[in-house]
Amino acid sequence: MEKIFTSVAIFAVSLMAATAGLGLWLGDLHGQTDQAILRWGTVHRLSAILAALLIVLVNSMSVTYFIGTARWCKEVVETYHLSDRFITKSKGIKRRSFPFALFGMLCVVAIVALQGAADPAAGRSGSEAWVSLHLFGRIGLTGVIAGCLQLQRSKIADQQSLIEEVLAEVRAMREARGLDVEHSEDTAISAGV
C-alpha cells in the first residue's frame, strides 16, 4: 500500500504543481480577450478540478486503508488471542493519521474556494482582488498538502510494520500448533494486507 499511496500522492501533487505553473504562465485573466488564452484558462480550471479530486482520492485511500487494517488487526488479535497492544497500537497509528487526511482535504476545499473567488469567468465583481491571494494560497496550501501526504505515508509504513508483527505472531502460533503456515500467509496477502 505504501508504494501505491506514494505513487498516487506524487502524481496528485505534481498535477497540482503543473496546474499552478499553468496559472502562473497565464497570469491574470481579468480583461483578457484573446480566445486562445481564455481556452488555456479553461484548461487551468479543469486541471485544477482534476488535481483537487486526486488529492481527495489519495487522502480517502489513506482513511480507507487505516479503517480496513485496524479492523483486520482487531479481528486477528481476537481470533488468535494475541496481546491487545496490537489493537491499541493500530488504533493509535490510525488516530494520528486521520487529522492529516482531513486537513489535506480541507486545504483542497480552501484552494478551490480561492480559485472560485479569483475566477473572472464566474462574473463576480471584485474577483481581481482575489488573484494574488489565490496564487499565494495555492502555493502555500499545496506545500501543506504535500506535508500531510508525507506524514500519512509514514503512518502507512508504521501500520505495515505492525501488520508484519501480527503476522509473525500468528505464524509462530500456527507453527507451534502444527497448523499450515503458508496458507495463512497467502490468505493475508490476497486480503491486501
pLDDT in tens, 3-18: 999 999 999 999 999 9
- pLDDT over threshold 80, residue 185: no
| pLDDT at residue 125 in the model | 82
CA distance 115 to 86: 44
Mean pLDDT of all residues belonging to the chain? 90
Domain boundaries, the chain: 2-190
CA distance 21 to 2: 28
| pLDDT at residue 78 in the model | 95
pLDDT-derived band at 182 (thresholds 50, 70, 90) equals: confident
In a 10 Å sphere around its CB, with 0-12 CB exposed, 13-18 middle and 19+ buried, how is residue 17 labelled? middle
- pLDDT over threshold 90, residue 188: no
| pLDDT at residue 43 in the model | 93
